[in-house]
Each structure stands twice: as structure tokens, then as C-alpha cells.
Amino acid sequence: MKQRKEKETQLQEPLPSPPYHVLHKLPPGDSPYVRAKNVQLVDKDPEAAILLFWKAINAGDRIDSALKDMAVVMKQQDRAEEAIEAIKSFRDRCSKQAQESLDNVLIDLYKKCGRIDEQIQLLKQKLRMIYQGEAFNGKPTKTARSHGKKFQVTIKQESSRILGNLGWAYMQQENYLAAEAVYRKAQIIDPDANKACNLCQCLIKQARYLEARSILEEVIQDKLPGSNDPKSRNRVKELLQEFESRQPISLASTSKGLNLEDTFLEGLDQLMSQWTPYRSRRLPIFEEISSFRDQLAC
């Protein structure tokens, strides 16, 4: 009986509080980078954090993380142009493993600044790396992080995501033919409701209403992943309203052809035809594609 009471007392004792750095999701230690993260996440002083990230970079303290984190904070402070220049100036000090992550930050910064041509070139560069088996360090998946949670991303998902971003960039240039072609490729690889809505938008801009409506019906009938997402539902409502208005489109919007992108898109067709099972360190989607590399106008 005495032992039982002792066990019950032990069970009722409060658990010890987690260490400070764990509680605030900070790296351990007291280096320049750790102090920068503390000011960013705990003190919530972004301008002071940027200065401390600079000190961490100059001190050579976790440069990979310091440069990426500083660029993200700069973007939040509407200093995206400065962030772009910082990445270009210091990325040569970063490890090879950090380059892909820095490219992702750069793409987001280019989008923020409206530098669409540079965004397109970098997206095509990332696609070329996938084609050549250089992405994900030659592995079929990678670990990604979003909102503090880790998850696995396949090369199929990454390829479709990049193509989706490329389609969005073409839409900003009003090159709806190129955007349509890229979105269709993305949907073949890894379809979802968001890209379907964007493809529908491309077709509406070209006054191809019947085709656009058939694409939208797939979302309405919940045939695609993400169809029930609130954002997708709101987007469907907006597109249905656009169908009703059916505003005439200008010749400038439809007269743009694929131009220099023809070769690139033809390369995508041939690359996708080479879809084979994973047999080596080459990435599964684009295995045995070396003969098509020169066809990519990247």
C-alpha cells in the first residue's frame, strides 16, 4: 500500500519545464546566430534581428541559416530588393546543400518585387536540375518544413509545384498560351484543384469558355485533390462569375505565342515520355534523358 501511494505521488508531480531554447524553438548556445534568432522569435524585433544576422554571416556562424533567415525577415519588412542582393553577394559562402533552399527564397523574392523574367529563368533552372538528376541530391524524396512541421516531398510533387509557379509567372506576362501549356504539364504530373483553376483562368483569357468550364467542373465535382479547400471553393465562385460576365479580351492578351519557350515546352513533352521506374540514383521521372538536355531553352 505504501509503495502504491508513493507511485501515485510521483505521477501527480508536475513535469519539468522544457529548456528555454526548446520552449521558444531556438537553437541552443549563445552564438551570434542564436542571439539573432532570439531577437527575431522572442523579442520580435525584426530590424534588430537583421543586424544580428549580418553579424552572424560576417562571423561565419551558421551562414546557411543566417543568410536564409535574414532574407525572409527582410522580405517581411518590405526590403525584398536588399534581400535579393544579400543572397547574391553571400551565397558563395554557403554550403552546396543550402543552394536549393536559397533558390526557393530568391524565387519568392523575385515574385514579391515583380521581377518576373528573373523568376522564370530561376524556375527553369530548377527544372533543368531535376531533368539532369541534380535535385534532391539524387534522391527520390526530400524533407521539407512548413509551419514548423516536417513532411516528405516527392520529385513528382516538386516538379508539379515548380511548373505551377512557372505557369503563374507566364500569366503575369499575359503569355496565356505558355501558361496553359505549362499548367497542363503540371496537371499530368501531379494534379490538384489550384492548378486546375489557374488553367481555367488561362482558357478564359483566350475566350475558350467550353474548355475552361470542363476543367472547372472537375473541381466542382470534387475530382481533384484540394477541391474542398475553402480557397478552392472561393476561387470556383470567382471563376463562375467571370464566366457570366464573359468580358471581351484584348488582342494583346491572345496574340502572344510561345516564342522562345517553344523548345522548352517541347523538351517537357519528350522528357515526360521518358517516365520510367526508379532504378538508380537518377531521379525517377527524368531518368535516361541526357539526349534531350540540349532541347531545353533554359
Burial classification of residue 166, based on how many CB atoms lie within 10 Å of its CB (0-12 exposed, 13-18 middle, 19 or more buried): buried
Q: Among 16-25, 113-122, 229-238, 263-272, whose mean pLDDT is lowest?
A: 16-25
- Smallest CA-to-CA distance from 242 within 203, 191, 187 is with 203
pLDDT tens sequence across 6-19: 555 555 555 555 54
pLDDT attached to residue 150: 81
pLDDT band of 137, cuts 50, 70, 90? confident
**DSSP one-letter code for 14:** P
Between 246 and 72, where is the model more confident? 72
- Per-residue pLDDT at 290: 37
Which of these, 166, 158, 162, 234, lies nearest to 197 by C-alpha position?
234
What pLDDT shows up at residue 285?
Answer: 38
What pLDDT is recorded for position 70?
97
User: So what's the pLDDT on residue 284?
Assistant: 37
Closest to 296 (Cα-Cα) out of 178, 111, 132: 132
**At residue 171, what is the residue type?**
M
pLDDT of residue 112: 95
Mean pLDDT for the stretch of residues 290-295: 38
Q: Which residues are paired to 141 by β-bridges?
A: 154
* Residue 139 banded pLDDT, cuts 50, 70, 90: confident
- Tens of pLDDT, residue by residue over 53-80, are 999 999 999 999 999 999 999 999 999 9
| Domain boundaries, given as residue ranges, for the chain | 21-97, 115-295
With 60 as the cut, is the pLDDT of residue 259 above it?
no
Q: Above 70 in pLDDT, residue 48?
A: yes
Per-residue model confidence (pLDDT) at position 12: 55
> For residue 254, what are the contacts with CB-CB under 8 A and spacing of at least 6?
176, 205, 206, 207
Whether the pLDDT of residue 37 is over 80: the answer is: yes
Distances (CA, A) of 223 to 189, 192, 209, 214, 230: 16, 9, 20, 12, 15
With a cut of 80, say whether residue 261 has pLDDT above it: no
Q: Cβ of 297: how many Cβ atoms within 10 Å?
A: 14
| pLDDT, tens digit (0-9, with 9 covering 90-100), for 196-214 | 999 999 999 999 999 999 9
How high does pLDDT run on average in the chain?
81
pLDDT in tens, 172-181: 999 999 999 9
Cell of 22: 526548446
pTM of the model: 0.74
Greater confidence (29 vs 252) lies with 29
Q: Topology of domain 115-295, per CATH?
A: 1.25.40
Identify the DSSP state of 72: H
Write the Ramachandran bin of 60: left for phi over 0, alpha for psi from -120 to 50, otherwise beta: left
- pLDDT at position 277, please? 38
- E-strand ranges in the chain read 141-146, 149-154
Q: Is 80 exceeded by the pLDDT of residue 157?
A: yes
The residue-averaged pLDDT of 177-194 equals: 94
The answer to whether the CB of 82 falls within 8 A of the CB of 67 is no
- pLDDT tens-digit series, residues 77-133: 999 999 999 999 999 999 998 998 999 999 999 999 999 999 999 999 999 888 888
Q: Nine-digit cell at 38? A: 532570439
Query: pLDDT higher for 254 or 229?
Result: 229
pLDDT at 267 over 70: no
Q: Nearest to residue 36, comparing CAs of 78, 79, 70?
A: 70
pLDDT of residue 244: 82
Amino acid at 295: Q
C-alpha span between 232 and 220 (Å, rounded)? 9
Comparing 22 with 4, the larger pLDDT belongs to 4
- Give the single-character DSSP code of 259: G
